[in-house]
Homo-oligomer: A and B are copies of this chain.
Amino acid sequence: MAHSATTATNPNPSAMSDRCLNITSLEAKDIRWPTSLGAHGSDAMHTDPDYSCVYVTIHTAEGMQGYGLTFTLGRGTDIVLMAVNAMKRFVENRTTASIYQNFAKFWREITSESQLRWIGPEKGVTHLAVAAIINALWDLWAKIRGVPVWRLLTDMEPEELVSTIDFRYITDAITPKEAIALLRENKTICNDRIQDIVEGGYPAYTTQVGWLGYSDELIRSLCKKYLRAGFTAFKIKVGQDLENDIKQIGWSNRLMVDANQIWDVNTAIEWMEKLKEFQLLWIEEPTSPDDVLGHKKIAEALRKYNIGVATGEMCCNRVLFKQFLQENALEFCQIDSARIGGVNEILSVYLMAKKFGVKVCPHAGGVGLCEMVQHLQMWDYTSVSCTKQDRMVEFVDQQHEQFLHPAIINENACYVAPTAPGYSTELKQEAVAMFEYPIGTEWQRMFAEGIFKSV
């Protein structure tokens, strides 16, 4: 008698012509960088982050590998690692075809494990673990097709792309049919936009000038550096001296502020009213990431000052995003590539954002996040919103050198379109050797020198 209307059972005929690989194993590692030593990434809630990730490698018998990761802040990476290992069995010893030919069904299996889902469901540790695995599977799929993920998504027929999404719990906001129609409509002059992306890239803004733990002097020199590099949009943490920041950045450029969840609803409104003279584009994470109605109240109060509300990096799944979008509780939707359940679920958020007329400006302050979200946002331009108007991708200059195909910013402060097949998620081997926690050579050195306490 009991049924779900959204059981994902549409097979994907296009995937049937893909080369089929045999997955032999899934390997997961705890990788941490000691960023707390320089206060990089510090904010009101996260005062001492050590930028980290759970790094997943999917090995195939044929020798091709898929790499994926989820971002963490140091402590707790081992907990997410354990959750990844608990989900390994969904991937190991099966063929890639058995996954990609019905990717939504696979996604539901891994997110709905009958005992594990109790400790989620679809949120926190278990969903971060899902993200790392799913992202690795998209890296592998793009490699099988020999294209970067943004092209994989762009080149898919709408039916194929939509077949990867599990619509459970969101059909009251968008149906598969609506999603297909929306993508179909944009297919026609897609090639012009692809060319535009390849030639000009995609606009970025930077948060690098504004971590809370940075000295005024460091902020001044960073502002100069990024202005010279062509950036025209900057984000800083609330709690800093705005007068001083504006002086550095100039009134003609864009300024956003980030509260990182420190306020209650009414406090957020009061504080932002005091900052109205600064012509801020948005206030990011003014309160709890779970508070749809709170954000709505804040957004309504700040609309008259032209200050938008932005949130999403800690929004735990598509069901929360659905409500933020349905309620017009945010103006900038900041999807994160590794908090909700990987590409499949993120696609559904982009499609809902398009339907509800909300701009997506992805979060990318973390390890590998710039590398991933550039793909998603380029697809948004070629195939979903089809505009760059008031949209940009965060850029933070950290850990890029650890990746084999790092995100690159051009002379106009735009992300350069990735060309290497995959999701840009592969770490250099020496990075893994140095920063795997706690056994990597750099950690062993820092323990020996007393810079960190050994575990």
**A interface, CB within 8 angstroms of B:** 1-6, 44-50, 71-76, 78-80, 82-83, 86, 112-128, 167-172, 237-241, 259, 261-267, 271, 287-294, 297, 314, 316-317, 319-320, 322-323, 326-327
- Given the complex, which residues of B lie within 8 Å of A46, measured CB to CB? 114-115, 117-118
Q: Is the CB of A79 within 8 A of B112?
A: no
Looking at A50, A118, A263, the one whose CB has the most chain B CB atoms below 10 A away is: A118
Q: Is the CB of B44 within 8 A of A2?
A: yes
Given the complex of chains A and B, what is the CA–CA distance between A171 and B291 in angstroms? 12
Q: Is the CB of B72 within 8 A of A82?
A: no
Q: Is the CB of B75 within 8 A of A113?
A: yes
Using A50-B115, A119-B125 as known contacts, list a sample of 16 further A-B pairs with CB atoms less than 8 Å apart, ordered by residue number in A: A1-B240, A2-B238, A45-B117, A49-B114, A49-B118, A73-B118, A75-B115, A78-B86, A79-B119, A123-B124, A124-B127, A169-B287, A169-B288, A171-B264, A290-B316, A294-B319
- Given the complex, which residues of B lie within 8 Å of A261, measured CB to CB? 121
Q: Is the CB of B115 within 8 A of A76?
A: yes
Copies in the complex: 2
Given the complex of chains A and B, what is the CA–CA distance between A47 and B115 in angstroms? 8
Q: Is the CB of B76 within 8 A of A79?
A: no
- Given the complex, which residues of B lie within 8 Å of A2, measured CB to CB? 44, 237-239, 259, 262-263, 271
Given the complex of chains A and B, what is the CA–CA distance between A427 and B259 in angstroms? 44
Given the complex of chains A and B, what is the CA–CA distance between A124 and B314 in angstroms? 13
Q: Is the CB of B79 within 8 A of A125?
A: yes
Given the complex of chains A and B, what is the CA–CA distance between A27 and B115 in angstroms? 24
Given the complex of chains A and B, what is the CA–CA distance between A117 and B410 in angstroms? 34
Q: Is the CB of B123 within 8 A of A126?
A: no
- Given the complex, which residues of B lie within 8 Å of A289, measured CB to CB? 121
A369 to chain B, nearest CB (A): 13
User: Mind listing 11 A-B residue pairs with CB under 8 Å?
Assistant: A2-B44, A2-B237, A2-B238, A46-B115, A76-B126, A79-B86, A125-B125, A171-B265, A172-B265, A290-B320, A291-B319
Q: Is the CB of B83 within 8 A of A125?
A: yes
Q: Is the CB of B115 within 8 A of A5?
A: no
Given the complex of chains A and B, what is the CA–CA distance between A72 and B314 in angstroms? 24
Q: Is the CB of A264 within 8 A of B116?
A: no
- Given the complex, which residues of B lie within 8 Å of A76, measured CB to CB? 83, 86, 115-116, 118-119, 126
Given the complex of chains A and B, what is the CA–CA distance between A112 and B125 in angstroms? 15
Given the complex of chains A and B, what is the CA–CA distance between A122 and B169 in angstroms? 22
- Given the complex, which residues of B lie within 8 Å of A264, measured CB to CB? 4-6, 167-172
- Given the complex, which residues of B lie within 8 Å of A1, measured CB to CB? 238-241
For residue A314, which residue of chain B has the nearest CB? B121
Given the complex of chains A and B, what is the CA–CA distance between A284 and B50 in angstroms? 42
- Given the complex, which residues of B lie within 8 Å of A75, measured CB to CB? 86, 113, 115-116
A259 to chain B, nearest CB (A): 7
- Given the complex, which residues of B lie within 8 Å of A263, measured CB to CB? 2, 4-5
Given the complex of chains A and B, what is the CA–CA distance between A169 and B128 in angstroms? 24
